[in-house]
Amino acid sequence: MTAVADNLAAAKARIAAACARAGRDPRFVRIAAVSKTQPPDVVAAAVAAGADAIGENRVQEAAAKRPLVAGTIPWHLVGPLQRNKAKLALGHFDVVETLDRPELADRLETLLGLVGRVLPVFIEINIGGEAQKSGIAPAASGPLVEHVVARCPHLRLSGLMTVPPYHPDPERSRSQFAALRNLGADLTARFGLPPLELSMGMSEDFEVAVEEGATWVRLGRVLFGERRTLP
């Protein structure tokens, strides 16, 4: 096995243990291998090892790497998207996890409408209300959901994503993960949506996120080791 395959197997075992603690079925927790800064052969190893998706946070980096990685698993955009990169992003990503404003929804809708394609999107929530962070405030998420549902037939609202405020102790993030789960339940009920995916949890806190209901965890360093320096 490659190191990545070993690491993925170990992460799956930790997810299964977290699911057992929470009384959840581990089949409902999927892994996006976040491969930013990793070269294409390492990304390919994650695909071969059975990651459920590849996550990248920069559009141009993904555009350069994806053609060099075989396999059909979906690629998720987990970093911020500028409107002028929307077209390039649609060429290389299957899911956008970082929808955070109506203008971006409109830009994606226009591009998708031209080719008759439907894109699954997650809304990124700034769950901790941090000034520097991307994502929409929880209180503003209702109007954005309404906008997507009413005006963007080529966007399929599939989930919520968050990166909570950083704490060295992952227990400190538990309430933030629970808040995302509760927001998802609220929005689902208010807008009559199917259940929303919850993309939450990274290398240092994914077990707590799984205990609190994550259906996607985004794992980078725990699978790939430390990030490389970009050329």
Ligand X SMILES: *Cc1c(COP(=O)(O)O)cnc(C)c1O
Give me the residues that bind ligand X (CB under 6 A), please. 34, 36, 57, 78-79, 163, 202-204, 218-222
Of residues 154 and 218, the one with the C-beta less far from ligand X: 218
Helix (H) or strand (E) holding 162: strand 155-162
Of residues 58 and 156, the one with the C-beta less far from ligand X: 58
Of residues 37 and 141, the one with the C-beta less far from ligand X: 37
Question: What are the distances in angstroms from CA 225 to CA 33, 52, 60?
Answer: 12, 19, 22
CB of 110 to ligand X, least distance (A): 25
Of residues 144 and 214, the one with the C-beta less far from ligand X: 214
CB of 221 to ligand X, least distance (A): 4
HEC sequence for 67-108:
HHCCCCCCEEECCCCCHHHHHHHHHHCCEEEEECCHHHHHHH
The CA angle 195-200-206, to the nearest 5 degrees, is 125
CB of 128 to ligand X, least distance (A): 14
For ligand X, the nearest residue by Cβ is 220
Per the structure block, which two tokens stand in for 114?
């031209």
Of residues 57 and 141, the one with the C-beta less far from ligand X: 57
CA atoms within 13 Å, Cβ hemisphere of 228:
12
CB of 113 to ligand X, least distance (A): 28
Per the rule left: phi > 0, alpha: psi between -120 and 50, beta: everything else, 167 is beta
CB of 10 to ligand X, least distance (A): 14
